[in-house]
Amino acid sequence: MADYIYTMELRLTPNQQKGVTLVQDVARNAGMNVYLTGGAVRDIISGFPIRDLDFTVQGNPLKLQKEFERSGAIIGGTEDDLKVLYLTLPGGVRAEISPARTEKYEKTGKPPVIAPATIIEDLRRRDFTVNAMALSLNPGSRGLLLDPFNGAADVEAKLVRVLHNYAFVEDPSRLIRASRFAARFHWVLEERTQARYESAKENNYIEYITNRAIGNEIEQLAYEDDPLNVVRVLEKEGWLKVLSPHWTTAKIDTNGLSELMRTRQQMNELGYAPDPAAAVLHFLTAKLSDKEVSDIRKLIPRKDLVEAWRDISDHAKELAKRLSGKEAATPSRTWKLLSNARQDMVLFLAVTARQQAVEQKIKNFFTKWREVQQKIPLPEMTELLITPQLPEYPKIAEEVFMLLLDGKLRSRTERLNFLKPLAPPPPPPPPPPRRGRAAKAAVQAQPQAPLAAAAKKGKGKDKGQAAPVAVPPAKAPEKTKTVVPAKAPEKPKAEKPKSSPTKLKTAQKKKAPAKKPSSKPKKKSKKH
Ligand code: ATP
């Protein structure tokens, strides 16, 4: 069996990695075996973005709720009969914890009979081969891939393949899932799966879909990276109206949705990771009636998502109001307000804001104001030893940025006047190195040069350019003394004594007589 530990760590985001460790530790402490399963494993292997983490434990996940809450996770909902736990792990990582179970379908449209099972038995109840893999998170086998149906090969071949002939009959929601995965990944249904799919469609098995499955499928649309593409495919296949009878693409605010996904991309590029799920549902159902929306909300298993969706417009209005008030009177205040606001709200408001001033502020936050960061006066800061090594550097840089945003610190004098009191004291001079005579002489000679230069400069300046240059020189010589020469004296200490002209001379002197004796004259004289 292959070891996927490295692939897993490479593919998960740092927050997802922390999430895996957290779930693994909580399950282990409760004595439960735990596996990463389903879509997360498929996405790790296929290279597609990992949207959420599905775990399977051997035991009852509902018993772990308190421990998860203590570890900083938020419980997003539960399915008590199936004992499924929906979590948001620290860092906004969505997770689902299910018990390993078998599902026996006795009648189409009726919920299956459930029983605790081993992980391999659990994989057998899954929908498609690519979703029927597990990665062990248990000591001794961590990173081992369990792939009893050759899902990895189907990932490679880009195929959606059911596990057995009755897959669509047992649970017709798999028809919608097959279309969704094929649309998202641009994969195709494997030949026999396609035949079963057509036959199930013809026989209208979809009418046996459960409300639970409908709710789950609607929720999954909220997490799609390209929801419009998926919804169009679902509409074409006739599945959109299964999710809600009057739902068509005409009921979607397509412009809003496209703008939302574009802005989300832009925010991602700037390093933000807003969760667009609630906003996606808002636009997907924009033109459905209140009753239809309320019916959909009742079916969605994650209650925290439903709440976020319900409140999104009110929260956006509140943020818009704050952006129009005193709290955002200057660019720097607006920057702070938008930086501290919930990023999913900023995203939603960026798309829905109707007041021009609010729109402009958000636009500036994403574009123009970021360019001001390029204007941070790094040369002056370096000159004053305000460098990233200083613990207070981030705070100073932030303050400078805020002032620049508000149009201050335009001239060098203004910048230096602001920065000088924040500059650290110069470091103490280095201890006097042990020097050879020549090195001593060199170092003794050094300070005179800047002094002489300063004297010269002083003479010249008295007559003309006084103010601008008069500010830095007070510290400039110190800088040359402390920063540059701090190392300079060591060089002569280390190198010069060996090759110092004096020693060379002595060496030559000593060697000289040794060569001369070879002077044959003496020997000759002996011979003679
Ligand atoms: P996504 O990337 O859309 O989240 P996913 O595969 O993780 O894909 P989920 O709906 O979160 O989809 O389901 C998690 C896992 O549970 C699936 O990978 C699959 O193994 C199993 N599963 C979900 N729905 C079904 C179903 N109707 N029949 C069988 N197995 C299912």
pLDDT at 66 over 90: yes
With a 6 Å cutoff on the Cβ, whether 129 touches ligand 1 is: no
The closest-lying atom of ligand 1 relative to the alpha carbon of residue 123 is 20
> What whole-number distance in Å separates Cα of residue 14 and Cα of residue 194?
38
DSSP string, 87-138: EEETTTEEEEEEE-EEEE-SSTTSPPEEEE--HHHHHHTSSBGGG--EEE-S
pLDDT digits (tens, 9 = 90+) for 403-442: 999 999 999 999 999 999 999 988 788 887 776 665 666 5
Is domain 1-157 in CATH 3.90.1150.10, yes or no?
no
Extents of the domains making up the chain: 1-157, 322-422
| CA of 508 relative to ligand 1 center, distance in Å | 86
One-letter amino acid at 67 equals E
Which residue has tokens 């018993």?
63
Between 493 and 204, name the one with better pLDDT. Answer: 204
pLDDT at 429: 83
Q: Which of ligand 1's atoms lies nearest the C-alpha of 103?
A: 29
* Residue of higher predicted confidence among 477 and 444: 444
CA of 54 to the centre of ligand 1 (A): 8
Instruction: Judge if the beta carbon of residue 171 lies within 6 A of ligand 1.
Output: yes
282 pocket-lining for ligand 1 (C-beta < 6 Å): no
DSSP letters, 54-89, are EEEESS-GGGGHHHHHHTT-EEEEEETTTTEEEEEE
pTM of structure? 0.79
Tell me the per-residue pLDDT of 225-275, one tens digit each, with 9 for 90 and over: 999 999 999 999 999 999 999 999 999 999 999 999 999 999 999 999 999
For ligand 1, atom 28: residue with the closest CA: 127
Structure tokens, 480: 């040359």
Residue 512 tokens, joined: 């000289």
Residue 118 is encoded by which pair of tokens? 């081993």
* Candidate from 48, 131, 164, 209 with most ligand 1 atoms within 8 A of CB, to mutate: 131
Q: 164 CA to middle of ligand 1, Å?
A: 16
pLDDT > 90 fraction of the chain, expressed in percent and rounded: 77
- The pLDDT of 489-508, averaged and rounded, is 35
| CA of 37 relative to ligand 1 center, distance in Å | 9
Contact 396, 369 (CB under 8 A): no
- Joined together, the tokens standing for residue 501 give 């002209």
Residue with tokens 């050879």: 436
Report how far residue 105's alpha carbon sits from residue 103's, in angstroms, rounded to the nearest whole number: 6
- The H or E element containing residue 224 is none
pLDDT at 520: 39
Q: pLDDT, tens digit, for every residue of 464-497?
A: 332 222 222 223 333 333 222 223 333 333 333 3
CA 276 to ligand 1 centroid distance, Å: 20
> In 3D, which of 66, 15, 12 has the Cα closest to residue 36?
12
User: 216: CA distance to ligand 1 center in Å?
Assistant: 9
Distance CA 354, CA 458 (A): 60
